[in-house]
Amino acid sequence: MRLYNTLTRTEETFTPGPDNTVRMYTCGLTVYARGHIGNFRTFVCVDVLRRTLRHLMHYRLHHVMNFTDVDDRTIIGAQKAGMDLRAYTDQYIAAFREDAKALGLEPVEENPRATDPENIAAMGAMIDALEQRGHTYRSDGSIYFKIASMPDYGKLAHLDHAGIKPGARVDSDNYAKDDARDFVLWKGTKPGEPTWQVAGDTPGRPGWHLECSAMALRLLGESPIDIHTGGIDLIFPHHENEIAQSECATGKPFSRFWFHVEHLIVDDEKMSKSLGNTFTIPDIITSGHRPSAVRYLLLSSHYRKQLNFTWESLQQAEEALRRLTDCLARVDAVSASGGHADIQKRVAEAQQAFSDAMQHDLNTAAALGAMFELVRAINSAIDAGQLGTEDVPVIRSAFAGFDLVLGILSLRHAEDEQPPVPVEEIERLIEERHAARRRRDFAAADRVRDDLAARGVLLEDSAAGTRWKRK
């Protein structure tokens, strides 16, 4: 498998660590607000990476995705809400879990919070190691990382060292691109802020960058880890500073591969609260769209290409999913006996094309293309009467394999199992409709169909009977 490595700006062959295990870290949500579709583009693409490594390459995964529950934004949000920091961030962690389930994200092995006592202790230990190696200084009760102490600082973001400001420092967790300054590891105590004591009993709280390094190395073990992932906006300063503090504390490379997902824009514009286009998953569901269509759209473009979200593109994703499910429904209705070597050959070719695409830097667009080529071949074979019951398990097995990696069909199926009308009521109304048609009361039959359609359930009649599906 080949992956693009942001550190080297090249595609490289990826191999796992000992015991065929991939140790992977993902920068998770900063839980000061509900995650939006831009956040979830990254999380869906990382989920597809995880699934590819696990289900296609058959590697073991030790995957950590954190919650940043203490930084400038979470503290300010909790203060404005008049809430304890833990209670304030709990609500957004719960919302993330709800949205992640709706989008079919596989649970990862570890979901640490920055404020977990074990993680705070690990941050203190990392500061101690950096102090002992001469990479820090103290000022006004805070502890800073001295970037001049690291000759190759800026190697991930490819910073121009001429632009680095020697001796200048920054306390904010977020700052301007390419504004390379000494960054805070441990912030001195301020009134009303949560406080811990580490690094020689220094009271204060961690800087954002320190948190991820400490959690990654505590939970994944000795450097280098195999893959570090996140959105492209995290390359600088966050990931650059993670590298600096981790490598200077351990004397070893921090991560072998850096995997970054490009921005999602909305209607050709950057997402912003002022434009009102930072949509959440509940926003999209309220608009009448389904999470499976959102997942399809978020993975439909290569992860290193900018993705433009529009309501039209979401509708196109819905239609593409419908083509997939309709094809599989036709396959399940096949009753002719026998098998056909030609269609089984087409299945094998599609499986190979899918695997090749995913192993080539996670080319989801090409993988979907292979699936739809197979859909066309299957539909043509059914139309020509050249598909038999022996072909059905072969086709079903192939699509199950595709879906272990992409996770769209199983998500759609789970949604269909929870329709907007109880299944028992749908089945009762279908039987009432059949009875009305038998007595030639077509007006009553149409009323049943139209009522269900208005409530989000479509009925489809065929020679095999009546099938329902979500609208």
Are 365 and 412 in a shared domain? Answer: yes
Are 381 and 444 in a shared domain? Answer: no
> Taking residues 451-465, what's their average pLDDT?
86
- How many structural domains comprise the chain? 3
pLDDT digits (tens, 9 = 90+) for 273-301: 778 889 999 999 888 899 999 999 999 99
Looking at residue 427, its amino acid is E
Rounded to whole angstroms, what are the CA distances from 431 to 428, 446, 460? 5, 13, 14
Rounded to whole angstroms, what are the CA distances from 110 to 2, 146, 213? 26, 31, 15
Residue 268 lies in a domain: no
Residues in a beta bridge with 360:
2
Are 93 and 188 in a shared domain? Answer: yes
In the listed set 387, 416, 445, which residue is the last one of a domain according to the structure? 416
Structure tokens at 70: 């203490």
Decide the pairing of beta strands 21-26 and 60-65.
Answer: parallel
pLDDT at 465 over 70: yes
Token look-up 């709990």 returns 90
> Taking residues 62-67, what's their average pLDDT?
98
Residue 266 lies in a domain: no
Gap between the Cα atoms of 344 and 336, Å rounded: 16
- Find the range with the poorest average confidence among 49-58, 115-124, 195-204, 305-314: 195-204
Are 201 and 244 in a shared domain? Answer: yes
> Taking residues 78-100, what's their average pLDDT?
97
pLDDT bin (cut points 50, 70, 90) of residue 178 is: low
10 Å Cβ neighbour count for 188?
Answer: 18
Of 216, 283, 286, 292, give the one whose Cα is nearest residue 247: 216
Contact 440, 424 (CB under 8 A): no
Token look-up 């907007």 returns 420
Kindly state the DSSP code that residue 105 receives in the 8-state scheme.
P
pTM, rounded to two decimals = 0.90
Looking at residue 100, its amino acid is A
Mean pLDDT taken over the chain: 94
pLDDT at 168 over 90: no
Among positive and negative, which fits the CA dihedral 459, 460, 465, 470? Answer: negative
In this prediction, residue 128 carries a pLDDT of 96
Residue 464 lies in a domain: yes
Structural domain boundaries enclosing 197: 2-261
In this prediction, residue 202 carries a pLDDT of 85
Which residues fall within 8 angstroms of residue 76, CB to CB, at 6 or more apart? 32
CA 347 to chain centre: 28
In the listed set 215, 240, 261, which residue is the last one of a domain according to the structure? 261
The verdict on whether omega for the bond into residue 191 sits within 30 degrees of 0, i.e. cis, is: no
Of 107, 105, 3, 128, give the one whose Cα is nearest residue 53: 3
Are 460 and 395 in a shared domain? Answer: no
> Taking residues 199-221, what's their average pLDDT?
93
Residues in a beta bridge with 113:
67
CATH no. for residue 377?
1.10.730.10
Gap between the Cα atoms of 355 and 321, Å rounded: 20
Are 402 and 443 in a shared domain? Answer: no
Residue 369 lies in a domain: yes
In this prediction, residue 166 carries a pLDDT of 63
pLDDT bin (cut points 50, 70, 90) of residue 106 is: very high
> Taking residues 103-121, what's their average pLDDT?
97
Rounded to whole angstroms, what are the CA distances from 401 to 46, 55, 390, 463? 18, 8, 18, 30
Residues in a beta bridge with 309:
266
Residue 41 lies in a domain: yes
- Find the range with the poorest average confidence among 172-181, 192-201, 448-457: 172-181
Gap between the Cα atoms of 348 and 97, Å rounded: 37
Gap between the Cα atoms of 102 and 57, Å rounded: 26
Are 353 and 442 in a shared domain? Answer: no
> Taking residues 149-156, what's their average pLDDT?
94
Are 253 and 326 in a shared domain? Answer: no
Are 281 and 225 in a shared domain? Answer: no
CA 242 to chain centre: 21
Are 288 and 346 in a shared domain? Answer: yes
In the listed set 211, 228, 261, which residue is the last one of a domain according to the structure? 261
pLDDT at 176 over 70: no
Gap between the Cα atoms of 374 and 394, Å rounded: 12
Are 24 and 169 in a shared domain? Answer: yes
Of 280, 282, 294, give the one whose Cα is nearest residue 104: 294
Contact 25, 228 (CB under 8 A): yes
In this prediction, residue 92 carries a pLDDT of 98
Of 324, 156, 113, 406, give the one whose Cα is nearest residue 256: 156
Gap between the Cα atoms of 136 and 167, Å rounded: 12
Residue 267 lies in a domain: no
Are 106 and 67 in a shared domain? Answer: yes
CATH no. for residue 229?
3.40.50.620
